[in-house]
Structure 1
Amino acid sequence: METVVVLFNRDLRIRDHPALSEACAVARHVVPLFVFDPAIGARHRRDFLRASLHDLRSSLRALGGDLVVRHGDPVAHAVRVAAEAGASAIWASEDVSPLARRRERRLAAECRAHRLEFRLFPGVTVVPPGALRPGGGSHYRVFSPYWRAWSATARRPVLGAPRRLCLPPGIDPGVLPEASPEPYGIVRGGESEARRRLERWVGDGLASYAETRDRMAGRTSMLSAYLHFGCLSPLEVVQRACERPGGEEYVRQLCWRDFHYQVVNAFPEMGRRDYRPRNVEWRRDEEAEAAWREGLTGVPVVDAGMRQLLAEGWMHNRLRLVTGSYLTKRLGIDWRAGLEHFAEWLLDGDMPNNCGNWQWVAGTGNDTRPYRMLNPLRQAKKFDPEGEYVRRYVPELASLPGGLVHEPWKVPGGVPGYPSSPLGGELRA
């Protein structure tokens, strides 16, 4: 093959990138292409994305190539760049979101019209979304049997980075917008930073994960944003974790990611419609929604989680469940309102996971106990017993002694600057 265009989307890395590796192995010239799509409002994720692209460009230049950058419609630019480069093929990594699948269908049609080969490769998940199916079904609806099937599935080998890459002559790489020196959030984008974090995690964090993973103030891998943008291969993360003591529980959480992907692959309307309708009459309460979004519900652990989200673009997984359950089960507000807020602010705002988790807490998704409600006070006392997490993100309560940090409504006269009672009525552990 003479020239292949590799269209990057949520796979911003050079290691274990099947489309890129295959192109470098069979083609004389390879055009790594990223297109800034104005239809996707990156918002505060923009800095993470830009940092990831700068790192990707540096890695590709070290191989002798470059990252070609364009702005506009990814399909139109991919075909246009293919024509400029004299390419005979456009390759990409397969994704499952409705937006990604529409883009793939359009690109496939345009490639047919221009007599270009179009191929999709794995790499966004550990196991391809449609690879595992239960007897008589299109996908797994319950996690445990999926976990058993997923764990027993043979996996492709993890690929190294290509040794060299050569752009065809005459291709303008394009201008890559600068990343902010002070990015939003607590992590900076890029495969290089992702790999440093992965090394630290498997070296000295993974062994205690099973015992500490639910502690709200505890340490986690902080790899979710890198997995969302594809700065790390989920397959490589699983392989590395499996090699270390204590890795199984962490790998199980990564399996949840694949589980949600295969659900969305079979039910693309996961972000709009109830997966398992319960005919819930959700209520609309603008003031309650605003208080929840801003971390002013009067429930300290809920407010701490929501404020962390706004300040850092991230939230501990236990807090995501607690805050989501509070909105849907305690306040009776539609899960789609929470989904939209999380999608706007999370650096790791991954559509399948976000939708899957929100429908799970709302009781309309893949939870086998749809009426369960996480009591935020009980959760706080169990997983933040000293109030360290709450004090970190709700400074109004930092001086309260002992367990009062979780129940400030018991303080005589209240706490200045903080709601005097919980939204939705008093809580009992």
Structure 2
Amino acid sequence: MTSSDAVAPFLKDPYILDLFAGPGGLDVAAQMLGAKSLGIEWSKDACETRYRAGLETWHADVSAVRRDRFHELPSELNVLAGGPPCQTYSVAGNGLGRKALDKVEKILHALMERVSDEEIDKRLEELGDDRRTALVLEPIRYAIKALSCPKRDERPFDVIVLEQVPQVKALWGVYKDALAAGLPGKGEARVKYEVAEVATLHTEAYGVPQTRRRTILIARLAKHGAPRLPLPTHHIYNPHKPERGGPGDKKAMAQAGQTVLSVDGGQAQVRPWVTMGEVLDRKAPFQVRSNYGSGGDPKKRGIRTDLQPSFTVTGKVSRNAVQHANGTPHTPDRLTIPEAGILQTFPPNYPWWGGDRSQQVGNAVPPLFGMHVLAAALSLPLPPEEKLRESWPETDEAVRSRLRKEGCGVPDKCGPDCPKPEDQSSPPASSDSSRPRTIASAKRSAK
């Protein structure tokens, strides 16, 4: 059973450019599907994880690559993907992006009218000090840049895949309209895309043992035909009726395999959502008490049991306490980094490395969700999801040196095109992340 009703690939050799690539969620998904990928990532820590995972990576500023090095990118890249930093747009973040959304939309329209890069940059500077708000426009700037790159023969990307928090749905709608109307090509020409309905999807509906919502945009060059969103394979978790749709729900179990309608009208067969207990190697019963978003008030801390999906895995996942059913600490009493990765559907031995690994895990696209989205975008059949639970091969030092040389310019350190060391830490998950971290929290993050 697959989440995509299309299994006729239209690209012979998909090669994905993954902007804001993080530790590799979308790249792991691509590898599972047999597609190549190149990630561009700002954080040195995330790059080190990627090098150890054997993922092709440029340690660079996405904006700087577009501006100064776009012509150095492999000309074979034909799929553009990206999940721009979401902190300023998310409910958990400081809200600057949401406040600036109207201004960002106006700048996007200016891009469509062939306003110069210099003028666009000037307008973006007026948004304020948080550069991440402006980064949400980088994917469309890359798509436009491809149309004027001689090395690519001014060839457009065949497919564009974007994901973000639900608060950016309105902007993705503007993206959709712009892509459908056509990007500014050579002369007065417009390069048009067919775009699927912009929708907010629940990751647990695709087998991820975690409740998380992401808004997805999938576009194809018009000659490739209209794409569709991935069809769900599992029930959606309802926190108000937590007994519904899970493996303990007799009705859901009886209905497993029956046809339901997806968000864009397609049909799918769904199973019960996946629980934490099914994927974590812990003695049941156990429960996870969240400290995220509680403001330190114990009365506001939610609880999920091993019979439910996890809370959304964020950069603060190490704050969540793991307990026995009676409230006493479990062993260990915090989710480890490998466990947090498993809840994100990374392989159990994925080689997390560098500093602030909690943030790396929390920032990542769940690979299983990424597999469904990419499979739908590229009309590829899905491999068994169990493949993500298999051992992931860690590279040796020779391979890491080669990848580092390709990504940083030198085999053993950052090169001249890498972001400055003081700027390379993972971005904070919310406005209160600027508080000094305690030694204990730093140790938990590195586990």
- Which category of TM-score, normalised to the shorter sequence, fits these structures? under 0.3
Pick 1 or 2: higher relative contact order, CA cutoff 8 A, min separation 6: 2
More strand by share: 2
Work out which of the two has the higher radius of gyration on C-alpha atoms and give 1 or 2. Answer: 1
More helix by share: 1
Taking structure 2 as the reference length, the TM-score comes to 0.25
